[in-house]
Amino acid sequence: GKGEYDHYMAKEIDTQPTALSNTIEGRVEDGNVAFEDLPAGTFADVETVQFVACGTSYHAAMYGNQLLRSAGVRADVLRASEYDQTAGPVDENTLVVAVTQSGETADTLDAVRKATDRGARSLAVTNVVGSTAAREADDAIYIRAGPEVGVAATKTFSSQAVTLALLTQRIATDVPTATPVEDREAMLGSLADLPEHVETVLETTNAESLAREYFDSDSYFFIGNGLGHSVALEGALKFKEITYEHAEGFASGELKHGPLALVTPETPLFAVATGGDDEKTKTNAIEARTRGAPIVAVAPDDHPLADAADWQLSIPDTHPVWAGLLANVQLQLVSYHAAALLERPIDKPRNLAKSVTVE
Ligand code: M6R
């Protein structure tokens, strides 16, 4: 049950430190990534990776895709519902990675079936043991987030992104042509601190006051670049899903190619900075601020964006790969509190189902 919490979503946000500890448990040893049942060398024949997913899982897949590409492995991230039209050439050296919390999403299952019909090898990254995706794929990796009841995916996004980040390092170790990420050691080393950093965010967040100030705005925009882009898209999806307010996420640099026309003093803009290369996020946030939009920097304390903003949602200093996940927790909290103020049925938003089993 939801115990002391008003909603499952609140519980699921709050229990992310434990979920993440379970996700990570035993998977990083001596600077190497190990997955149960998938011995070293498992991915040695892989030439191309295609991530397929929908909704929140697609945003987690974007994370994996960027990390894999930066390790020099050919990778793509495809909307599962568009797989037919966008997949391109596939063969036995293609690994299709289905990212699906439930393991039952029809669009995702269909994409995997189409890929395997054409000879691809498949891997399910899922939360549900024994789900259709886990049973049908050649291999499965579990994200170990524990059951998620709220329709809005929260802890499972965090656990998916961590699992995929680890998977990319596993694949990059196996694939002979890959070029290991430069600061791989630092990245894997700081993962151990992630659960504690999430705890810090949960204990110190000012998301409720922020939600109180802005919950009756016209629209909400979310921007970020690099890994921050996936967090911006996820922040906007969560916000619209449970508040019923208009929210959109963009790659920071895209703001000036159209969306800027919508920016007014009534459209708060959340700028996600990870402490990596956030230059575009900063310049575009300042551009929006010039048009009167309130700017919320989701950023570490010493970040230049924090000074330029009206509000800050603070994230602990850590490796940029994990910083995006901390920013996402802040955005989950903003959505939750805004939806609570608007008295929405948070765990069961209208028209939506936890797993979408129709195409
Ligand atoms: O079970 P899946 O991960 O395959 O579900 C995919 C999407 O339907 C899901 O992430 C959806 O976008 C969430 N309700 C978003 O919070």
> ipTM for the complex?
0.99
Q: Does position 36 have pLDDT exceeding 90, yes or no? A: no
Q: Does position 296 have pLDDT exceeding 80, yes or no? A: yes
Residue 340 has phi, psi (to 5 degrees) of: -65, -45
- What is residue 239's predicted lDDT score, i.e. its pLDDT? 98
> Ligand 1 pocket test: which of 109, 240, 356 has the largest number of ligand atoms within 8 Å of its C-beta?
356
Q: How far is the centre of ligand 1, averaged over its atoms, from the C-alpha of 61 (Å)?
A: 12
CA angle 314, 317, 319 (to 5 degrees): 125
pLDDT grade for 355, boundaries at 50, 70 and 90: confident
Residue whose CA is at the smallest distance from ligand 1 atom 10: 56
Position with higher pLDDT, 262 vs 358: 262
- What is residue 164's predicted lDDT score, i.e. its pLDDT? 98
**282: helix, strand or coil:** helix
pLDDT grade for 153, boundaries at 50, 70 and 90: very high
Does ligand 1 have an atom closer than 6 angstroms to the CB of 28? no
Q: Does position 92 have pLDDT exceeding 90, yes or no? A: yes
Q: 209: which residues sit within 8 A by CB, 6+ positions away?
A: none
Does ligand 1 have an atom closer than 6 angstroms to the CB of 153? yes
CA–CA separation, 280 and 253 (whole Å): 6
CA–CA separation, 326 and 317 (whole Å): 10
pLDDT grade for 10, boundaries at 50, 70 and 90: very high
Q: Does position 151 have pLDDT exceeding 90, yes or no? A: yes
